[in-house]
Amino acid sequence: MKMLPRLLALSLAVALPGPAFAAQTFALVVGVDQYPNDVSLDGAVRDAEDVYRSMSAAGFTVTKFTNAEARKDDIRKAWTDMVAQAAAGDTIIFTYAGHGAQMPELIAGDEADGLDEFLQLPGFDRNRYEETSKEIIVDNEMNAWFGEAEGKGVHVLFVSDSCFSGGMSRSVTGKTRLAPAVTVKLAPPSQEAIAGANLKDIDFKQVTVLAASLESQPTPEVIIDGEPRGALSWSFARAVEGSADRDGNGIITRIELEDYIFSNVKNRSEALQVPNFMPQVARSESEVVVTLTRGIPVNNGTTTETADNDNGTTTPVVEKTIKSAKDLGWTGNIALQIDGAGDKPKNADGTGTPFRWDVASGVFYTPNGDVAAENVDAERIQSVVDKYVLLDFLKALASQNPGSVSLTPVKDIYAAGTRLRFDAPPGRYPNMLVFNLANTGEVQFLDMQAAGTSSSQFKLTDVEIVKPFGADHLITIWTAEPVDAIGAVLADRAVTSQTLLQALLTRLDGKEASVAIQPLYTRETL
């Protein structure tokens, strides 16, 4: 994905001097599903409403525009008002969920690829550009907006759950947030679109941009909790609720936000997306991007100690409340559509966009339209359903404490014969479990490292992709809880997803554990 390219060279916001709970956070939230002159979306307004709720609960001053309310003049005025109200050290967060698009550069020689990017509002009609050009926000204009905040010492975080380029190799049925490009040379929509071009070489020190995908990837709408959503918006909303605040001190650093967003976007998009931070590297470990204005406690946690800050002050540290999977929305069921004559398995009475089982072909599809498993017959269907019930449970745990693992090379999908490597580093907890949930529904035990034993990085090297094809999920769990009993369950060659789920519910649900999920989609040929 290509997102506001001239911001690629910007420096990240400097760290706030200490927690500074007196600083205020303003937020501007825009979400558009309904595009009268283009393909409409399904989940952008849900994204905006979710982010709005989380930021309001965090104590931010929030202004929201959705669908027809999202008019450029009104958005511009809201931004101007926020900059006027904000003081040095305050933060403005601007989140956008909707279509992005490209157009020939407005200023000759301004862009390396000859293209400007823009956010497309519902009033824009590319067939009537002169009359509707004011209903796009060009990257040049956003530079000018950000420059206004920069001039007052106000921090800016721009979160764009949209798309400007890229394609995917997996057959996903959801919509992408990419509108058709404008192909003819057009006049700048405003003076700001010209003036903003002159800011491309300015070293912004207080602006961070978080885009949904890399340039080479699309931004698809994916199914989360049964509904079309943007994985970045969903993850950002959970981050602001406090899940990204790993140490519970009421601030989210760039490092904390990165760790949280990268892991959960991977989990919720099934590895279709890799978010893109700009600049790509944090300036310091303590660099703050979000201050939870409501202060602490976070998630009704209990203050247990204080942390010393560099400026000589102390900040209460909160022991977070770990929610159960059910409190996080897990139901123990998935929704399943059966095409053909077949009995419905247990735990398949969930609601929302369903998985789909084509009985005649034996193909089992995810709600996103991916092939999850092949050769699924009446004997295997229950184990496949049980796998996804367990996977949803693990995703719920990961949403409040995600871990990080890697698969090399990185691809949307892997063809037969491809060789790859999987790495799971030691975590911050003493115990680790590694296992695979195969596309057949089988549970494959890979490793256990318990406290008191030699802890090391777990590696699978030179793994070759072979039949059966579909979607595997490599799982790593780190915890301070005892894992011997879970390990004993995993070591049983006859272990099922249902048995493992019961062990995890008993031992880890509502307990502190970090979970990493690495989707692995395969097929015979690409």
The per-residue pLDDT for range 417-458, each reduced to its tens digit, is 999 999 999 988 999 999 999 999 999 999 999 986 766 789
CATH number where 423 lies: 2.60.40.2470
Q: Is residue 276 domain-shared with residue 365, that is, in the same domain?
A: no
DSSP symbol at 333? -
Mark whether 274 and 344 lie in a shared domain: no
Is 10 found in the same domain as 84? yes
- Of 73-87, 148-162, 308-322, 379-393, the range with the lowest mean pLDDT is 308-322
Residue 472 contacts residue 436 (beta carbons within 8 Å): yes
Mean pLDDT for the stretch of residues 252-260: 95
Report yes or no on 248 lying in a domain. Answer: yes
**Quick check: is 283 in a domain?**
yes
Average pLDDT over residues 398-414: 95
Token output for 460: 């699978």
Q: pLDDT value at position 117?
A: 87
Neighbours of 292 (CB within 10 A): 24
Query: For the chain, what percent of residues have pLDDT higher than 70?
Result: 84
Given 277, 295, 313, the domain boundary residue is 295
Do residues 360 and 281 both lie within one domain?
no
Tens-digit pLDDT profile for residues 158-214: 999 998 766 667 767 788 888 888 876 766 767 666 665 665 555 678 999 999 988
Q: For residue 320, is it within any domain?
A: no
Residue-level pLDDT at 22 = 58
Instruction: Classify residue 319: in a domain, yes or no.
Output: no
Q: Tell me which residue range forms the domain holding 208.
A: 5-295
- Region 502-515: mean pLDDT is 97
For residue 87, the tally of other CB atoms under 10 A from its CB is 11
Q: What total of structural domains would you count in the chain?
A: 2
If one counts every other C-beta atom within 10 angstroms of the C-beta of residue 383, the result is 19
Residue 303: inside a domain: no
Residue 455 lies in a domain: yes
Same domain, 154 and 255: yes
Distance, CA of 489 to CA of 483 (rounded, Å): 10
The bridge status of strand 336-339 relative to strand 355-358 is: parallel
The answer to whether the CB of 101 falls within 8 A of the CB of 78 is no
276 and 355 housed in the same domain: no
Same domain, 206 and 270: yes
> Of 295, 314, 347, which one is at a domain's C-terminal end?
295
- 307 in a domain, yes or no? no
CA-CA distance, 83 to 91, in Å (whole number)? 9
Residue 377, number of CB atoms within 10 A of its CB: 9
Q: Alpha-carbon distance 480 to 212, whole Å? A: 33
Do both 368 and 231 map to the same domain? Answer: no
Q: How far apart are CA 91 and CA 24, in angstroms?
A: 6
DSSP letter assigned to residue 332: S
pLDDT digits (tens, 9 = 90+) for 26-47: 999 999 999 999 999 999 999 9
| Structure confidence at residue 285 (pLDDT) | 83
Q: Is the pLDDT of residue 294 over 60?
A: no
DSSP, collapsed to helix, strand or coil, labels residue 113 as coil
Domain limit, last residue, from 236, 267, 295: 295
Looking at residue 23, which CATH number applies to its domain? 3.40.50.1460
Question: Region 116-135: what's the mean pLDDT?
Answer: 91
Q: How far apart are CA 35 and CA 266, in angstroms?
A: 28
In the predicted model, what is the mean pLDDT of residues 67-81?
98
Three-state SS letters, 163-207: CCCCCCCCCCCCCECECCCCCCCCCCCCHHHHHHHHHCCCCCCCE
270/346 same-domain check: no
User: For residue 456, with 0-12 CB atoms within 10 Å meaning exposed, 13-18 middle and 19 or more buried, which class applies?
Assistant: exposed
Residues 379 and 267 in one domain: no
Q: Are both 275 and 344 inside the same structural domain?
A: no
* Number of C-beta neighbours around residue 467 at 10 A: 11
Whether 394 is in a domain gets the answer yes
- Write out pLDDT tens, residues 12-26: 333 334 444 458 999
CA 276 to chain centre: 10
pLDDT given for residue 5 in this prediction = 37
Give the H/E segment covering residue 308: strand 302-308
Predicted pLDDT of residue 321: 80
pLDDT band at 481 (very low <50, low <70, confident <90, very high): very high
265 and 365 in a common domain: no
d(CA 436, CA 457): 17
Q: What is the mean pLDDT of the chain?
A: 87
